[in-house]
A and B are shown apart, each in its own frame.
Chain A
Amino acid sequence: MLLSSVIIILREVLEAALLFSIFIALSRQLGFDFKWVAWSLFLGLIGAMIYGLNIDAVSQWYDGVGQEVTNALMQLGIYLMLLLYMLLLSITLFSTGRPNSINHKKTLKPALVFIMIIVSTLAITREGAEVILYFFSVTRSENHLVAVLTGMTIGGSIGISIGFLFYYFLSSLNFKWSIIIGLSLMIMVAAAMVSQASLLLIQADWLPSQLPLWDTSGWLSERSAIGQLMYALIGYEATPTAIQAGLYLCGFIVPILLILGLKFKYNLYP
């Protein structure tokens, strides 16, 4: 039970912690205040409670696959929001310092903050609900209480610790590198969201099941801590199907192409 608890909590906490650390580090570099963090935590926790308490009803939707579909839609929503965030951030950066340019940092700030609140709230809602569900389902048996609580503490602590270290790593970089690495991480996290969403849709039979393209569990098990970090960071799957791998690749390439397109546009028409 301990290991299962660690894996489940680590998976949920790590994903949210990474998103938060990237957002907070970028906010700091852009000179935004951190009120959005409090709002996201507040709204996310309320969302998690509501979602967690109504999960039975949600599960009944779409012929019993409501939970998978809802989670997948949330993941796709996060991906689209992250895509928009990356584009707005790129516009802000590419236009900065150009003659006659509008101060996009000021004009786009409300939009960037709004997206951060939406993404963080969605992430906490989905992951918080999973944690709540897991906790209440497992702790019904008193035999496992200590093991589950210990596992949750270890998983949560590892996730939060990695989040803090990521944040300080990004904050220690200069503006240019912080933005480049922050954006790169965001692209990977966003692609991971698409991969996870596709997996959930396969589970819900909304996408066809296929045989795995490869199996790398011998090299890096998804159940190991590093495997979980890679899962949250780059959407690592030991046994991905062709659809999953294809969607992951699309999720990865689309933001890169759009950002490069924006850069090209700004270089062409400064």
Chain B
Amino acid sequence: MKSIRTFLIIVILSTVTLMAFLSALNGYQDSMAKAEQLFDSELVDKSHLLLQAFLARTLIDNKIDMTSTQPLNATVSENSASLIKDIELENEQMAAENNFFAFQIWHQGNLLLRSSHAPQKAIAHFEKGFNDSNFLNHRWRTYSYYNNTSNLWILTAERTDIRYVLAENIILDSILPVVIMLPLLGILIWTIVSFGLSPLRKLAKELGNKRVDDLSPLSIDEQPIELIQVVNSTNDLLKRLKSSFLREKRFASDAAHELRTPISAIKIHLHNLAAMVPENEHSFLQLKSSVDRMGHLVEQILNLNRTSPDQYISRFNTIDLYKLAQELIIREYPQFNEKNIQLALEGEPCNIEGDPFALEVLLQNLMTNACKYTPDGGSVIVTISEKQTDIQLQIQDSGPGVPKEQYERVFDRFYRLNGDSHDSGTMGCGLGLAIVQQIVELHQAKITLGHSSFSSGLLVNIIFPKEPSARKQSVSLPEVS
């Protein structure tokens, strides 16, 4: 089930439709049967009325030739009973309009009287009661009535199809509203279900709008009984999460303190030891390299931890990215100079909304990477330019570059191109670009890799939006001890 609302609306509407329409059909069939009975009883009444009228006329006028067959309208005299006239008129009108009704009056096998469109031969069997017969190209419902006293057969008939249409038109009026109401019913069910699910929607919205660092409990007031347990459980979870985060934050801080201090101490001892061991002592050089590597790894792990979205607490300022890059270049210049790398900064001052510390870490990682992998005498260009809606930061070097198929993998944590045996033989732990990507995501920027403008080398292209949308889930770096 993808959506509770869709499920409820479809299932309720289908069930209601099914029940309503089946009931309507049932009602339709019952009503049609009742209408049939009504038409039948009307046919009986008409037969009786015809007999009475016929007997009355024969008594008044005594003009009927009992041996001849004549249509009713041909034998009406001026003195005929008004009752007969009414019947005749009614029948004539009916005949003219739709040939709905027909009748015959028989006496001892002789047709005495018939409606104008009735055939000469009997329209029904001379058996008392109802039957169906075909004449005048239609199906007719017939009623045969025999009067013992006058020895007359009154045969009456009504067209079945017209009876059906007449009855259906009346019954349709009661079914149509059910059909017409269906779309309205759908809207009503939609509204009711939506209203009924609104507390759930509100709760989901409240949870969705929560910032990552907002671990305050949810409001339990005005929650329906069904959701109280959910809210209570969520609040318990948030409480446990909060204490867990605090512990983790404390761990990061403690780890920084606990790991940095002994590493610094080791470095001092190594410095002192340098005077006591021969220069180029292999074990000493290995030890120094390993300690430097450990220090770098600890710093990178801490940076990764600090820039992690779930640890980050928003502290965005307006920063001049160009100026920040300038400062970084001044600071990192010695290592570029050591390798005789030509370092250039191009572009113009550009202000962006960002976290100063995070952006500094980003630039530092990228520049250190460029320096590491660019051979002696190579070139590195840092370009910062302002576009219409974004700001572009590009760092390109003349190093060996990264194969295209490795572009995505190099962002993985602890992933190093060609494993530990990197061509450059430089120190690294495989976290630099993972940290860069994390910072890029925090700033809602985009990072792409490509081929630099040199004959070989890597181009790192980062596009920062000028106005990042409101951040729900981000963060800045925790206080570093």
- Cα–Cα, bound, A150→B169 (Å): 12
The interface stretch among B21-29, B132-140, B383-391, B442-450 is B21-29
- Cβ B7 vs Cβ A154 within 8 A: no
Q: CA–CA, A168 to B25, complex, Å?
A: 25
Contact A2 B168 (CB under 8 A): yes
Q: A164 near B10 (CB under 8 angstroms)?
A: yes
Residues of chain A lying within 8 A (CB to CB) of residue B175: 2, 150, 154
Residues 191-248 (chain A) with a chain B CB within 8 angstroms? 225
Contacts of B28 in A (CB 8 A): 2-3
Contact B18 A158 (CB under 8 A): yes
- Residues on A with beta carbons closer than 8 Å to the beta carbon of B11: 164-165, 168
Q: Are B21 and A157 in contact (CB under 8 A)?
A: yes
Min CB distance A225 to B, Å, is 6
Task: Quote the shortest CB–CB distance from A204 to chain B (angstroms).
Answer: 28
B176 touches A146 (CB 8 A): yes
* Chain A interface main SS type: helix
The answer, among B17, B25, B179, for a CB contact under 8 Å with A3, is: B25
Which residue on chain B has the smallest CB distance to residue A172?
B1
A168 touches B7 (CB 8 A): yes
Q: Is the CB of B14 within 8 A of A164?
A: yes
Contacts of A6 in B (CB 8 A): 25
B301 contacts partner chain A, Cβ-Cβ < 8 Å: no
- Closest Cβ neighbor of A162 among chain B residues: B18
Q: Count residues of B near A (Cβ-Cβ below 8 Å).
A: 24
B10:A168 contact, CB within 8 angstroms: yes
A161 interfacial by beta-carbon distance below 8 Å: yes
User: In whole Å, how far is A251's beta carbon from the nearest beta carbon of chain B?
Assistant: 28
Q: CA separation between A218 and B1, bound complex, in Å? A: 41
Rounded to whole Å, the gap between the CB of A35 and the closest CB of chain B is 16
Interchain CB contact under 8 A, A161 and B17 = yes
* Given contacts A162-B18, A164-B10, A150 and B25 within 8 Å (CB-CB): no
**Which of B15, B24, B29 interacts with A165 by CB under 8 Å?**
B15
Q: A168-B7, A225-B25 are in contact. Are A158 and B17 (CB under 8 A)?
A: yes
A2 near B17 with CB under 8 A, answer no
* Residues on the B chain within 8 Å of A147, using CB: 168-169, 172
Q: How far is the CB of B301 from chain A (nearest CB, A)?
A: 39
User: 1/0 contact trace for B173-197 toward A, CB 8 Å?
Assistant: 0011001001000000000000000
A161 touches which one: B7, B18, B25, B32 (CB < 8 A)? Answer: B18
Instruction: Taking A3-B32, A150-B172 as given, write out 17 further A-B residue pairs in contact, using a Cβ cutoff of 8 Å, ordered by the A residue number.
Output: A2-B28, A3-B25, A3-B28, A144-B165, A153-B182, A154-B24, A157-B17, A158-B18, A161-B13, A161-B15, A161-B17, A161-B18, A162-B14, A164-B11, A165-B14, A171-B1, A225-B22
Q: Which 5 residue pairs spanning A and B have beta carbons closest together?
A: A161-B14, A164-B14, A161-B18, A161-B17, A154-B21
Q: Which residues of A contact B (CB under 8 A)?
A: 1-3, 6, 143-144, 146-147, 150, 153-154, 157-158, 160-162, 164-165, 168, 171, 225
Residues of B within 8 A of A (CB): 1, 7, 10-11, 13-15, 17-18, 21-22, 24-25, 28-29, 32, 165, 168-169, 172, 175-176, 179, 182
